[in-house]
Amino acid sequence: MVLSKTLPKVSVIGAGHWGKNLARDFYALGTLKSVYDENPVTLRAIVGQFPGVGGAGSLEEVIFDPEVAGVAVATPAADHRKTATAALAAGKHVLVEKPLALTLADGREMVALAREKSLVLMVDHLMNRHPAVAKLKDLVGSGELGKVSRIWSRRMNFGRLRTEENVLWSFAPHDVNMILAILGASPAGVSAVGGSCLTRGLEDAVEAELLFRGGVTAHVSVSWLNPVKEQKLAVIGSDKMALFDDGAPWDEKLKVFPHSVRWNGLVPSAVSGEPVAVTLEEKQPLKEQCRLFVDAMRTGKPLPDSDGKEALEVLSVLTALSASLAENRFRPTVSAGEDPLLSPETAAAPPAAPAAGGTAAGSFFVHPTAVIDEGAVIGEGTKIWHFSHVLGETEIGKNCNVGQNVVMGPRARVGNGCKIQNNVSVYEGVELEDDVFCGPSMVFTNIINPRAFVKRMKEARRTLVKKGASIGANATVVCGHTLGEYSFVAAGAVVTRDVPAYALVMGNPAKRAAWMCRCGLKLPSDLTCPGCGRGYVEKDGKLSPAGD
């Protein structure tokens, strides 16, 4: 291969496992001028494969070579910042192997330096150049898969063991980058667990969870202690599912499965279909990445997803995952915003409004994705989870548990010890006394005859749920009624009248089917609880504990 006279010349720094691949592809493009590696034996071996390519004697020889326009950095991750920064400072364009750096602060400095000098800084996120990933973006963006709920990715192998960085930093950048690219968003928070089998404190297997606004989740599994190589990514949609298997032949790498879930009441069932292979253009991602780097140097116009922002988004997620791994807890990510260089170096903290002005009754937990409006009062020990919203002047007591995607208020009232499961709205006019249970997706109304185009909030009717009552999943409580203490509304029931204390009501409209003990067991005919032994007395259609 003759060195091109028109294309900018490139030098590869680091001739190990990945550097030799970069040298191969730049040589094939006619742009490889030289290679540098600290190990002279490695250097001689790699230079001998490419006639006409020189072996540099030092890093300085490379970065101060006036004929070299750009460098490809394939050194260990811990050296990326030092090597890439030196090359940028010397006026060289840089392609650096993933990850960009090992800290978000270092990554931002590198991107800022490249922008200051108007140089190209690309990160070798080569999976984003894979035709299968491009097609997955199209499938998700066009809505062909339906509403995406989950992505999972597995990157497993045996070998390539590291002692400089753990498997999260070695393997997961590819998976995180693909997931962010496919969804077109960054996660609101992450969590990770891992294990160190070989080197103490250096995880060789990690399981990571990414949580996105809107309810989408992604799971990443990485390990270099797996008996077989596995590189798969699946996107789960409401209408179809897609599987990218990078270990399969080209004509089978990407398949779409017309799988879906059918609901019969509250019971889901799987509906399977035959997979359809997606035709892909056979293109090598690394060779494409090298070509794009050369083009960007030649034109001075890198691709929008290769200007450093993409790399910092990935680095932000890896940083949060590392913190979660070390602390063994959920960790919010640092939002890169419109421009990651301008974003503050602070994690997304729980909303501060409840603590402002002394409205909080004490310490409580608010998930970073939840929103708490000013003026809300939250009691000590209460937990408010993902994507929930507490509106102003709402009062929540102590030791409550508020699930995901719950809306409360404005001016709702919730007592102590209540449990409100996912997807429940507690509107203005609803009052829950202590120890009330609201099952998933149950509904409170506050207007009898709502119209979208008629404002009737002044007609809102009060709903009172008394101490210890339980409301089952998907039940509806029509406004203006009272649920007596320790009453029990069955799943799916529609309450259209007051419910007596201790009554079990079922159906549409809900009618009393039995009596319930305070402990939650159905009472037999003698009205003595078989579980706790409490006795009750029925009189005039009402139940009360014996002895009252």
468-511 pLDDT per residue, tens: 999 999 999 999 999 999 999 999 999 999 999 999 999 999 99
- 3-state SS class at 323: helix
Which domains are assigned to the chain?
Answer: 128-282 (3.30.360.10)
pLDDT at 70: 93
Please check whether residue 346 is in contact with residue 362, taking contact to mean a CB–CB distance below 8 angstroms. no
CA distance 535 to 527: 6
One-letter amino acid at 95 equals L
Confidence of residue 422 (pLDDT cuts 50, 70, 90): very high
Looking at the whole model, is its pTM more than 0.85?
A: no
Number of helices (H) and strands (E) in the chain: give both, helices first: 9, 41
pLDDT of residue 347: 35
**Any idea which residue has 């609803």 for tokens?**
430
Q: What is the pLDDT of residue 342?
A: 43
Which of helix, strand or coil describes residue 433? Answer: coil
Local structure of residue 314 (DSSP, 8 states): H
Edge-to-edge strands of the sheet including 371-372? Answer: 371-372, 389-390, 407-408, 425-426, 443-444, 476-477, 494-495
SS3 359: coil
**CB 315, CB 100: distance < 8 Å:** yes
pLDDT of res. 334: 57
Our CA dihedral for 113, 115, 116, 117, rounded to 10 degrees, sits at 90
CB atoms within 10 A of CB 187: 26
- Going by DSSP bridges, is the β-strand pair 371-372/276-277 parallel, antiparallel, or unpaired? unpaired
Three-class secondary structure of residue 179 per DSSP: helix
What's the CA gap between 472 and 460, in Å, rounded? 23
Mapped onto helix, strand or coil, the DSSP state of residue 299 is helix
Q: What is the pLDDT of residue 329?
A: 54
Q: Which of 99, 101, 83, 69 is nearest to 37 (CA)?
A: 83
pLDDT at residue 466 tops 70: yes
Mean pLDDT, range 290-304, rounded to an integer: 83
Query: Which of 348 and 301 is assigned the larger pLDDT?
Result: 301
Give the containing element (helix H, strand E) for 136.
Answer: helix 131-142
| Residue 535 pLDDT > 80 | yes
Whether residue 164 contacts residue 76, with contact meaning beta carbons closer than 8 Å, is answered with yes
Q: Which residue has the tokens 């050369």?
A: 294
Angstrom distances, CA of residue 250 to CA of 144, 228, 353: 22, 20, 53
Cα–Cα dist 142/136, whole Å: 10
| pLDDT at site 91 | 94
Q: Residue 285 phi/psi, 5° resolution?
A: -60, -40
50-107, pLDDT tens digit by residue?
888 888 889 899 999 999 999 999 998 889 999 999 999 999 999 998 888 888 889 9
CB 476 within 8 A of CB 443: yes
Strands 267-271, 241-245: pairing is unpaired
**How high does pLDDT run on average in the chain?**
86
Q: How far is CA 244 from CA 136, 215, 333, in A?
A: 8, 22, 27
Residue of 383, 313, 316 lying closest to 104 (CA atoms): 316
Q: How confident is the model over 246-284, as pLDDT tens digits? A: 999 999 999 999 988 877 766 778 888 899 999 998 888
> Over pLDDT 90: what percentage of the chain?
52
Amino acid identity for residue 106 in this structure: D
Give the C-alpha separation, 126 to 144, whole Å: 25
The two structure tokens encoding residue 392: 């102003």
C-alpha dihedral over 187, 334, 351, 209, to 10 degrees?
Answer: 30
Q: Which two tokens stand for residue 97?
A: 């192997």
Q: Give 149-202 pLDDT, tens digit per residue.
A: 999 999 999 977 777 778 898 899 999 999 999 998 888 888 888 888 888 778
Does the pLDDT at position 460 exceed 60? yes
- pLDDT of amino acid 496: 95
Residues 6+ apart with CB under 8 A from 49: 20, 23, 24
168 in Cβ contact with 194 (< 8 Å): yes
pLDDT at 441 over 80: yes
Q: How far is CA 149 from CA 211, 235, 265, 300, 373, in A?
A: 11, 8, 21, 39, 28
Position of tokens 């003595």? 528
Tell me what pLDDT residue 359 has. 34
Amino acid at site 296: A
pLDDT at residue 197, as a whole number: 83
Region of 387 please: left (phi>0), alpha (psi -120 to 50) or beta: left
What percentage of the chain carries pLDDT values higher than 70?
91
H or E segment and range at residue 111: helix 104-116
Q: State residue 437 phi and psi, 5-degree precision.
A: -115, 125
With a CB cutoff of 8 Å and minimum separation 6, the contacts of 40 are: none
The whole-number average pLDDT for the span 240-251 is 94
Question: Hey, is 194 helix, strand or coil?
Answer: strand
Residue of higher predicted confidence among 274 and 456: 274
